[in-house]
Structure 1
């Protein structure tokens, strides 16, 4: 895959500069905070005064872990496997974050049950406070782990030109008594956070294309043009692993655009692709880009036209000679 860097030294310099900006520092500082002086990792042991790791040290460790693998294997016969190993590192952060999230969800469920079954006893108040502290601790650990994962994923993207994608799932971190209000407020704020993560709000731009495509710059330029007009856009793709969809997802990762991936629902049999098209249309996209591919793209383009969605059709003949993969 071609890129705009003439040698690996230039790429390494670009990667280092990209990761030394204030945004990354602020992201780590915002994720590695201590919401409470005490931490509770389970309901059996007593809470402890455990500090969060130093965000600068964690940031350096993740950077070293990811970058060293690329640097050591670069320009050797093992170079081709560096991306696979780096994906595994990033995926490890993702898997651990999901495990913490599952524990957090269980604790939040119990907290909700307690909040709905008020009891004025001291035992109840203690259990409520312990469960709330457990939720807060797990939430902080999840957010920190997701920060590390996102950093690792960004190193992977810059080095390979492709966004990290997990194998499956999203990647996507008393008035009755005083503690009672705290519990309800906590649950409400947590619910809002998770809704935004898994149901982002914003104008949807639909995208689909065939699996054979060469001129990535053409698609990047077109998507950049749309984002200039719709800064808060969300990209909805047909989630194919290669070709146009993969190019669009790489663009979205580079530009910080959220992506909704509509994978095929195999339970729908031969209708799966057409059902997927209907689901994309159900998002009421404000604009769409369809690249020449198969009858599936033709069907989606026809439905978009019938719905009155502004549509850009990009044909194979529109590609420029020697279209190079764009990375930024």
Structure 2
């Protein structure tokens, strides 16, 4: 986005206005801060300002774009996506630290709320702890907003969706209201549960790490999405191959489908087969499977026994290098 845009005719006003307006997500995260906040634990409450929403959005996009622009047509070009991924991940890492701090504060508030101490000193301590927890949540939501926008820039310029190395990527809108301790904890628990457990009908996807033919998968997922517009896509969490193709489909702005990566947790030979049973226990409405190893065959059998409709793709006879799917809205260079 250009900070020095000019207009020569009336028709340019619409474009200039769009360039000078922050998105609703940035206005929600940065545009209406709490009257008082605590920037760091141990500090007193004060009227700290938030960054300007438009500046935060523009600079966030500009940094990612600059990384790709700097390295394009140079011997460092193959490293651009890796460096940009790390930039996005820095927001995710710090937001995760804030979320853990927020959880610890909520536990402390819970213990204090159950206390019978009604003194003025105790009440002030409880109110300060609640304000610190809300301030931490406000900081986390702002970083998550910037992470999500930088991740969208990464997707447009690299051709692949950004995903964290570990853990979940979730976001929620800010709700800065003054409420009692018990209601505050109840509201926060419900919001967290909704963020981590999407409620839409589940479509399971699984395929091998070596898979190149992305177009049939996207077409079939488009067909399912047309029938089940509120679907949540659950994959087996591999960062390349068929799972990556499905993740790229879900990340498109025109798709907007929640993606849950159901990776392998634990150790031992039976972990993957246990994961397959848990996928079936999610009671998916449909499943898409690409022929692969015995794990896909086992999942296919379990889904059939459960009576779940399956869309199966056979493995291509000739293996070819994995090609990036063309991302709608991406530049030809980024999608090539």
Q: Report what 1:148 is aligned to.
A: 146
Structure 1: gaps (5+ residues): 1-16, 174-178
Q: Which is further off, 80-89 or 111-120?
A: 111-120
Distance 2:246 2:71 in 1: 28
Q: Report what 1:312 is aligned to.
A: 311
Is the Cα contact below 8 Å between 2:31 and 2:52 reproduced in 1? Answer: no
Distance 1:264-1:88 versus aligned 2 partners, 3 A rule: same
Q: Report what 1:275 is aligned to.
A: 274
Matched, 1:160 2:158: yes
Structure 2: gaps (5+ residues): 1-14, 172-176, 329-336
Shift of 1:180: 10
Shift of 1:23: 10
Shift of 1:91: 0.5
Q: 1:97 aligns with which of 82, 95, 103?
A: 95
Deviations 1:182-214 (A, max 9, x none): 222221111111111111111100001122222
Name the SS for the 1:205 alignment partner. strand
Deviations 1:37-69 (A, max 9, x none): 111134532211111111111011101111100
Q: Report what 1:13 is aligned to.
A: none
| RMSD between superposed Cα atoms in Å | 2.4
Bigger helix share: 1
Is the Cα contact below 8 Å between 2:99 and 2:140 reproduced in 1? Answer: yes
Superposed, 1:1-328 pairs within 5 Å as 25-34=23-32, 36-173=34-171, 182-254=180-252, 255-267=255-267, 269-317=268-316, 325-328=325-328
Distance 1:91-1:116 versus aligned 2 partners, 3 A rule: same
Is the Cα contact below 8 Å between 1:115 and 1:180 reproduced in 2? Answer: no
Name the SS for the 1:299 alignment partner. helix
Is the Cα contact below 8 Å between 1:33 and 1:140 reproduced in 2? Answer: no
Distance 1:231-1:74 versus aligned 2 partners, 3 A rule: same
Distance 1:172 1:239 in 2: 16
> Normalising to structure 1: TM-score of the pair?
0.86
Name the SS for the 1:135 alignment partner. helix
Distance 1:161 1:150 in 2: 16
Distance 1:219 1:21 in 2: 35
Shift of 1:111: 1.2
Shift of 1:125: 1.1
Shift of 1:118: 3.5
Name the SS for the 1:316 alignment partner. coil
Q: Report what 1:9 is aligned to.
A: none
Deviations 1:10-56 (A, max 9, x none): xxxxxxx9xx6899710101112445311113453221111111111
Deviations 1:243-274 (A, max 9, x none): 1111001111112211111212342x111211
In the TM superposition, structure 1's runs of 4+ consecutive aligned residues that sit over 4 Å from their partners are 20-24, 321-324
Shift of 1:172: 2.3
Distance 1:125 1:204 in 2: 45
Distance 1:125-1:266 versus aligned 2 partners, 3 A rule: closer
Name the SS for the 1:270 alignment partner. coil
Name the SS for the 1:117 alignment partner. coil
- Aligned residue pairs: how many? 303
Is the Cα contact below 8 Å between 1:93 and 1:148 reproduced in 2? Answer: yes
> Normalising to structure 2: TM-score of the pair?
0.84
Greater RCO, 1 or 2 (C-alpha within 8 Å, sep 6+)? 1
Is the Cα contact below 8 Å between 1:34 and 1:140 reproduced in 2? Answer: no
Distance 2:41 2:127 in 1: 11
